């Protein structure tokens, strides 16, 4: 079986190269070509001897996602539909934000979490993505950009639950932030979870990234209605894990709160949320529900959203109303489906 170099970290690549009788600097060259040169074949690695390039072609694979379709929104958001090796489809979303870009990547084909407001959940889980399939979303999008260096932020908020694919996601993150990998700042990498408590506890010990928690309710009954994961990891255990999560100076945990009319948008809900987050270095992203065919819920009125925000601000929480981008191409929060046609 061929080695999958995009899925290896620096130590694994060096050990693999040593096994072929190569000097350690060859491993560093390989990673520079893959993650900085963004090449798709060994033939493009022009500082390697021709004989070595031919030998590597038989011993390792440079898996490349197949671009099926790119859709461009009126607001400039770009949604990429990729086909992975076994034919499943995944989506990545490139979002323009001022002078830079953020890429929303997928960690699974489909999702098993079954959140009520999420279209991805309707197809169930197909499979986990490998570390190379996660990283290659970044590589292929960056390769297609006119100014690749303007892609500065990566968010694990696409299809799937990142902490349910823990090992591959952490390995991908390490390749994203490694100096001899893609060299993103760990301050610019955010992982969003629906609340898998054991994974949150591991993540804080294994890698430094920003944590975002999809919360969406401040009481167990409502949250279990919206997010079945709450029946396994209720709010008390989730909040305890968040309080224990190691935060570098001046960092906060982001709590994402999708607002649905008459479900979780009342004044009482806002006050409960403020109480729940008390003592946590927290900021809140309010996201008016993106309606789609998978749910009969609808977003609240703008006044209701602003009133909810005002209550949280008065309780001294940084609270941002996140305007969904790419709605006209189904690229907004909760809309990714991984379907074509």
Residues involved in catalysis: 91, 333
Looking at the chain, which runs of residues are DSSP E strands?
A: 3-4, 60-61, 66-72, 78-83, 89-97, 100-104, 108-110, 125-128, 151-156, 189-193, 210-214, 253-259, 282-288, 318-321
User: Nearest to residue 176, comparing CAs of 164, 187, 162, 166?
Assistant: 187
What CA–CA distances, in Å, run from 291 to 49, 117, 171, 277, 328? 55, 8, 34, 27, 12
Output the DSSP codes for 213-248: EE---SSHHHHHHH-GGGGTS-HHHHHHHHHHS---
What CA–CA distances, in Å, run from 115 to 229, 230, 242, 312? 8, 10, 20, 24
């Amino acid at each position: 079986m061929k080695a999958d170099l995009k899925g290896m970290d620096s130590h694994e690549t060096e050990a693999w190269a040593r096994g072929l009788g190569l000097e350690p600097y060859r491993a560093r060259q390989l990673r520079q070509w893959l993650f900085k040169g963004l090449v798709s074949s060994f033939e493009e690695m022009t500082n390697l001897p021709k004989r070595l390039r031919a030998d590597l072609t038989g011993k390792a694979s440079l898996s490349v996602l197949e671009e099926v379709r790119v859709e461009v929104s009126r607001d400039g958001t770009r949604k990429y539909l990729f086909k992975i090796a076994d034919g499943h489809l995944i989506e990545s979303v490139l979002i323009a934000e001022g002078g830079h870009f953020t890429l929303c990547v997928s960690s699974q084909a489909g999702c098993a979490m079954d959140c009520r407001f999420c279209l991805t959940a309707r197809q169930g889980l197909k499979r986990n993505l490998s570390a190379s399939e996660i990283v290659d979303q970044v590589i292929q999008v960056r390769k297609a950009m006119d100014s690749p260096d303007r892609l500065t932020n990566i968010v694990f908020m696409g299809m799937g639950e990142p902490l349910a694919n823990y090992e591959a996601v952490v390995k991908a993150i390490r390749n994203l932030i490694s100096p001899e990998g893609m060299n993103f700042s760990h301050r610019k990498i955010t992982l969003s979870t629906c609340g898998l408590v054991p994974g949150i506890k591991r993540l804080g010990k294994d890698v430094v990234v920003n944590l975002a928690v999809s919360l969406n309710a401040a009481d167990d009954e409502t949250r279990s209605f919206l997010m079945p994961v709450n029946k396994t990891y209720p709010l008390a255990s989730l909040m305890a894990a968040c309080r224990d999560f190691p935060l570098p100076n001046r960092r906060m945990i982001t709590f994402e709160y999708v607002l649905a009319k008459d479900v979780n948008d009342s004044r009482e809900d806002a006050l409960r949320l403020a109480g729940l987050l008390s003592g946590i270095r927290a900021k809140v992203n309010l996201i008016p529900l993106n309606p789609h065919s998978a749910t009969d819920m609808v977003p609240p009125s703008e006044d209701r959203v602003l009133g909810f925000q005002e209550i949280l601000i008065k309780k001294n929480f940084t609270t941002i109303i996140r305007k969904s981008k790419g709605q006209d191409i189904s690229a907004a929060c909760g809309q990714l489906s991984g379907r074509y046609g």
